[in-house]
Amino acid sequence: MSLVVGLTGGIGSGKTTVADLFAELGAAIVDTDVIAHELTSAQGAAMPAIVRAFGTAVLQKDGGLDRAAMRRLCFSDPAMRKRLEAILHPLIRGESVARCRRAGHAPYVLLVVPLLIESGAYREYVDRILVVDCDETQQIARVMARSGLSEDEVRGIMATQAGRAERLAAADDVLANTGARDELQTGVLALHRRYLELSRRADVQGHA
């Protein structure tokens, strides 16, 4: 299997932006959020189990998951959230690992896991952890601009995630996204070169 780098960071830190830059350089990207959306779209592999657990009230007209309805349900009842996670998490993990395995053509894989530090579930699959880091005020401003959520709502989400210090303590590599978007390129290129070198070394060792 290729070298797998776990990419994580708080909401709005810039994970997607950074992953896009790595993809342009030739990295394979496996994004757990993308997989979660696929699994819960119409015909998604998680939908039969979700309908069995929650009924058809959480369906959109097309048969995909009505995310707003599900969010309301989980918000009012933590047991519902647990039930949903028990269905989704193993499926997301299985699909993520399968996609990492299939990415053998790429020199390395970036596995994007927003809650990598919090869940611990992916640590055994990643060779190292890259944290995208920015100030909390920047996180809040970026998420508010992107989503229309209020500051309190963004802070509420951030409160469920690891803090900046905890995340940085778990990082093998840190990419600062504290400046303008085009300042990211230099840091991404330096890390790309490092990952190419690490994957070459792993290849040599693997074939020794």
Smallest distance, Å, CB 140 to ligand ADP? 11
Does 32 contact ligand ADP by CB under 6 A?
no
Query: Between 51 and 176, whose beta carbon lies closer to ligand ADP?
Result: 176
105: how many CB neighbours lie within 10 A of its CB?
8
Smallest distance, Å, CB 204 to ligand ADP? 34
Q: Name which of residues 143 to 202 contact ligand ADP (CB under 6 A).
A: 146, 177, 180-181
Cα–Cα distances (Å) from 77 to 86, 177, 187, in that order, read 15, 36, 42
Structure tokens at 16: 């997607």
Question: What SS3 state is found at 154?
Answer: helix
Smallest distance, Å, CB 59 to ligand ADP? 27
Contacts of 36 (CB under 8 A, 6+ apart): 88, 92
Query: Between 29 and 103, whose beta carbon lies closer to ligand ADP?
Result: 29
Piece of the chain touching ligand ADP by CB under 6 A; list 6-14, 78-86, 121-129, 148-156 = 6-14
CA-to-CA distance for 127 and 173, rounded, in angstroms? 12
DSSP H or E run through 30 = strand 28-31
Piece of the chain touching ligand ADP by CB under 6 A; list 8-16, 34-42, 77-85, 97-105 = 8-16
How many residues bind ligand ADP (CB under 6 A)? The answer is: 13
